[in-house]
Amino acid sequence: MSYFRAENLSLHFGGLKAVDAVSFAVEKGEILSIIGPNGAGKSSIFNLISRIYRPTSGRIFFEDQDITEQPPYDIAKLGIARTFQNIELFENATVLSNLLVGRHRHSTTQLWQELLFLPSVRANEKVHRRRVEQVIEFLDLEPYRDKLISGLPYGVRKVIELARALCSEPKLILLDEPSSGLNVEETDDMSFWIRDMKSELGVTVLMVEHDMSLVNRVSDRVIALNYGRVLAMGSPAEVQEHPDVVAAYLGA
C-alpha cells in the first residue's frame, strides 16, 4: 500500500470542476511535485487534504487510514503539516511563539496544569523549546527569534512558515508554492532545505510549484494537472515532454 493516497478526488463548485477525479499516490520518503497552469486545481487539492474544503467525492488515505472524514485539526495530529501560498502566519506574535504553535500537536498538558504552570508544563515547554531551536538552526532563523512577524520581510516569512510546519515534526509536509515571491538566491536555499528535509529529517514532501527549475532539482516524481484533471505523471523530464503538458502550457 502507498504511504499517502488520493482516490478519485473531486471538488465541484456548482458547475465548476476545480478538481475532477484525481488519483495519485505518494511513496514514503519521496518528493512529489504537482505542476500545472493557474487554476488547474493544485491548491484545491491541498485544501482538500487539509480539510479546508470537503471533497465532493473521493477518498484520501494516509498510512492506510481513511482521513477523508477527519476534522481539520486532526490532520495535523496525524502528522501532515502544510504551508500556504499567501503565507498565513500569526502576524502579531513573535517568531518563537509562531514556531511553538507548530508544536501544538505534541502538547499533552491540561488547562488547569497550565494555569498553575506545574513542573510538568515547564518540562514540556523546555522540550518544545529545544525542538524549536533545532528547527531554527536547521533553517538559519537565529536572528529573528524574538522579532514580531509583522515587521519581517516576505522571504523570511516564507521560511518561518516552513519552520512552523517542521516544528510539528510532520511525516508528510505539503508545500504550497514554496518559492513564490522569493528571489533566485532564496529559491536556491529553499531547494537545499527541501532536499535536506527529505534526507536528514526523513519527511515525505508533496509540493505545488510553478518554478520548473526548482521542480527539476528536487522532485522524484511530478504530476501535471490542468482543469482539475491529471495530464501526466512520472519523472520530471517525462512529464515536461508529455504532449498534453506542452499543449496545456502553450495553450494550444
Partner 1 sequence: MLDFVQQLVSGVALGCVYGLIALGFVLVYKATEVVNFAQGDLMMLGGFFAFTFIGMMGLNYWIGFAGAVATMALFGMLAERVVVRPILGYPQFSIIMATIGLGYFLRSVAGMIWGTDDLKIETPFSQGVLRMGSLVLAYDKLSVIAATMILCALLWLFFNKTMLGTAMRASSENMLAAYYMGIPVKRVVSVVWAISAAVATCAGVLLAPITFIHSNVGLVLGLKAFPAAVLGGFGSIPGAVVGGVLIGVIESMAGFYLPEGWKDVAPYVVLLTVLLLKPEGLFGLHVRKKV
Partner 2 sequence: MRFLFKTDYEDDIKLFPHSGYIISYGLLLALLLIAPYVLSSYLMSQLVFVCIYATVGVALLILTGFTGQASLGHAAFLAIGAYTAAYLQKYNVPFPVYFLAAGASTGIIGAMVGFPALRLTGIYLVIATISFALIVEEILARWESVTNGNEGMRVKTLSLLGVTVPRDSPTFYYLCLAVLVLTIVGTLNLLRSPTGRAFVAIRDSETAARSMGVNVALYKVKSFAISATITGFAGVLFAHKLSFISPEMFTLQLSIEFIIVILIGGTFSLHGAVLGAIFIVMIDPFLTYLKDDMPGIIAGIAATFGASPATAGNIQSNAAAFASLNGLKGAIYGIIIVLFVLFEPLGLYGRWLKIKLFFQLFPLYKRATFKRQKIYVKSERNR
Instruction: Please give the residue ranges that form the binding site for partner 1 (CB under 8 A).
Output: 43, 47, 52, 84-86, 88
In angstroms, what is the minimal distance from the CB of 100 to partner 2?
Answer: 6
Query: DSSP string covering the chain, please?
Result: --SEEEEEEEEEETTEEEEEEEEEEE-TT-EEEEE-STTSSHHHHHHHHTTSS--SEEEEEETTEE-TTS-HHHHHHHTEEE--TT----TTSBHHHHHHHHGGGG----HHHHHHT-HHHHHHHHHHHHHHHHHHHHTT-GGGTTSBGGGS-HHHHHHHHHHHHHHT--SEEEEESTTTT--HHHHHHHHHHHHHHHHHH--EEEEE---HHHHHHH-SEEEEEETTEEEEEESHHHHHH-HHHHHHHHT-
Distance, CA of 114 to chain centre:
30
Q: Which is nearer to partner 2, 25 or 52 (CB)?
A: 52
Contact with partner 2 (CB under 8 A) among 10, 56, 70, 107: 107
Q: Which of residues 46-75 bind partner 2 (CB under 8 A)?
A: 50, 52, 71-75
Does residue 81 interact with partner 2 by CB under 8 A? yes
The entry of partner 2, partner 1, none that residue 21 binds, CB within 5 to 8 Å by partner kind:
none
86 binding partner (options partner 2, partner 1, none; Cβ < 5 to 8 Å by kind): partner 1
**Which residue type, as a one-letter code, is found at position 126?**
K
Among 21, 25, 67, 96, binds partner 2 (CB under 8 A): 96
Minimum Å distance from CB 87 to partner 2?
9
Q: Is 105 in the site for partner 2 (CB under 8 A)?
A: yes
Binding status of residue 97 toward partner 2 by CB under 8 A: yes
* Stretch of residues binding partner 2 (CB under 8 A), selected from 4-12, 58-66, 99-107, 204-212: 99-107
Contacting positions for partner 2 (CB under 8 A):
50, 52, 71-77, 81-82, 84, 88-93, 96-97, 100-105, 107, 109, 111, 114-117, 121-122, 125-126, 129-130, 133, 150, 164, 168
